[in-house]
Structure 1
Amino acid sequence: MQGDSGGAEARWERLAPGVVRRRLPGWDATVGAIAGEGGVLVVDTGSSLHEGVEIRREVQELFGPPVTHIALTHPHFDHVLGTAAFAGVQVYGAVGAADLLRRDRDELRHDAVRHGVAPDVAAEAVELLVLPHHPVSGELTVDLGGEVRVLLANVGPGHTAHDLAVLVAVPGGPEVVFCGDVVEESGEPQAGPDALPHAWPAALDRLLALGGDDAVYVPGHGAVVDAEFVRRQRDALAERFGVS
């Protein structure tokens, strides 16, 4: 990491060279950042414009260049409402996520308020919400310069109908997989009204096929886990929802 990182250094966990993540307060949601020679990609943006501004500032402290790309793992308030804090970036999401966010702005705001976001804070973030510019229907590679290429993979449906995983392998480090809420460590995986339980185990099978046994898996909430944890969660979800 470059520059004087100050307090940001203590809040961000280093996963591999140029790859970090932070667990945000409140809902323990993960945000990540991946730096290459030509750009920085942020994974998810928090639950408010304030969180988005803080993420943007801290990532620039850690790496130097401004954020150039954002990948949204799924369209829930605690992962997308900070996106408007990043001016001029390229935003990626699973195919259909942009249409959902455009159509269901009121529900997004209500969901944020139900979970404790102040009404005025939620309203501002939803009003300024930036929708994904680039829909990912299969797999898409983002070149961040040097030897850093990030794979965006539409692994859903599962936790939602629009689940996107972010995979990166950098020289000198393990492959890192940002899972979104398809994987959760700090509690039982949450299956809300927009979940597709029958498809969730298959989404985890796809995730494991992409990352493999030696990858570091970063849940949407909670501590970093390994492939064996993901397999156990896959089997528990299959039993919970009565699918194979």
Structure 2
Amino acid sequence: MARTGFHEVADRVFVARYPQWDVNVGLVLGRDGAVVVDTRASSLQGFEVLDDIRRLGMDVTVTHVVNTHIHFDHVFGNTAFSAATVHAHANVGRGLEADVERIKALFRADPDDGPELGYTSRDVVEVLATDVRGPDCTFEHSATIDLGDRPVSLTWAGRGHTDGDICVHIADADAMFLGDLVEESADPSFGGDCWPLEWSDTLTSHLNWLGPESVVMPGHGTPVDAAFVQRQRDDIERVARVIRERHAEGWTLEAAVAEPDDRLPYPLPALEAAIRRAWEQVPQPTTRS
């Protein structure tokens, strides 16, 4: 996938999709400034975002950056936006330093290219060279960025893909950025920091703000509508239902991660971390081989 720059998806709401890790970056324009939503995976990639904003041919001053969650492909580019205030959920602020060390250690241990994720060894070098800038402003439940003629609402409705996922809602444009709470170009990512038993409830809360004409930007892939978010929410709830049943019936963890179930909407190997995480979150009452 080639880098294509920003295109408008709603009134003064833009999105750009980048090949490395197939990540989306948002841009929201207002009378008194602009908000960038997520900043890519390195300082250099963040500067490329700034270049793409300039190519729009508008007089845009980026006054605010919002990180939808903690993961490196969404926050490492923050350093390019030195004149902007960076906003994120409080859990991002609390956990970012440790997560930076975690992801850099992983790349040092395995720096090979990832063609399926669109990155090269050069991108890895840039990730490792980036001095990551954390958020300047954090919040627990909600915050608002005032762009003069429009508010941009930031809301945390619970844990899901991580413990710090937020939605960025531009009500007057009926547009929303959901980060990796929703993915379009791949199945949802159940990583080692996900909350599989709470994720669907978090999406349900955000769905209350969406209507049939809403435009939703996922963390990865093309913009979607509310019906897509509902379907993905339902699939994530099916995963949680199977996990809860296995736990309540006293399955061992190793049996739970190995036994297929036709109700599961995603391949079982991709759900191993979700099942293991659920077992960490709820004590095991009995055992079953």
In 2, Cα distance between equivalents of 1:112 and 1:224: 30
Q: Is the 8 A contact 1:78 1:112 kept in 2?
A: no
**2:143 pairs with one of 108, 126, 140:** 140
Instruction: Report the counterpart of residue 4 of structure 1 in structure 2.
Output: none
Query: Which gives a bigger RCO, structure 1 or 2 (Cα 8 Å, sep 6+)?
Result: 1
Q: Percent identity?
A: 34
Q: Is the 8 A contact 1:35 1:41 kept in 2?
A: yes
Give the total of aligned pairs. Answer: 230
Q: Is the 8 A contact 2:153 2:169 kept in 1?
A: yes
Instruction: Report the counterpart of residue 104 of structure 1 in structure 2.
Output: 99
Q: Is the 8 A contact 1:60 1:67 kept in 2?
A: no
Q: What is the identity, as a one-letter code, of the residue corresponding to 2:51?
A: R
1:40 aligns with 2:34: yes
State the structure with more CA Rg: 2
Instruction: Report the counterpart of residue 19 of structure 2 in structure 1.
Output: 25
In 2, Cα distance between equivalents of 1:240 and 1:96: 25
Instruction: Report the counterpart of residue 122 of structure 1 in structure 2.
Output: 127
Q: Is the 8 A contact 2:41 2:72 kept in 1?
A: yes
CA spacing shift, 1:179–1:112, aligned 2, 3 Å: farther
In 2, Cα distance between equivalents of 1:58 and 1:112: 27
By how many angstroms is 1:201 displaced? 0.1
CA spacing shift, 1:37–1:111, aligned 2, 3 Å: farther
In 1, Cα distance between equivalents of 2:59 and 2:52: 10
RMSD: 1.9
- Does the residue aligned with 2:186 lie in a helix, a strand or coil? coil
TM-score using structure 2 length = 0.75
Instruction: Report the counterpart of residue 150 of structure 1 in structure 2.
Output: 152
Instruction: Report the counterpart of residue 164 of structure 1 in structure 2.
Output: 166
Instruction: Report the counterpart of residue 241 of structure 1 in structure 2.
Output: 240
Question: Which sections of structure 2, spanning at least 5 residues, go unmatched?
Answer: 245-289
By how many angstroms is 1:111 displaced? 4.4
In 2, Cα distance between equivalents of 1:236 and 1:111: 30
By how many angstroms is 1:25 displaced? 0.7
**More strand by proportion, 1 or 2?**
1
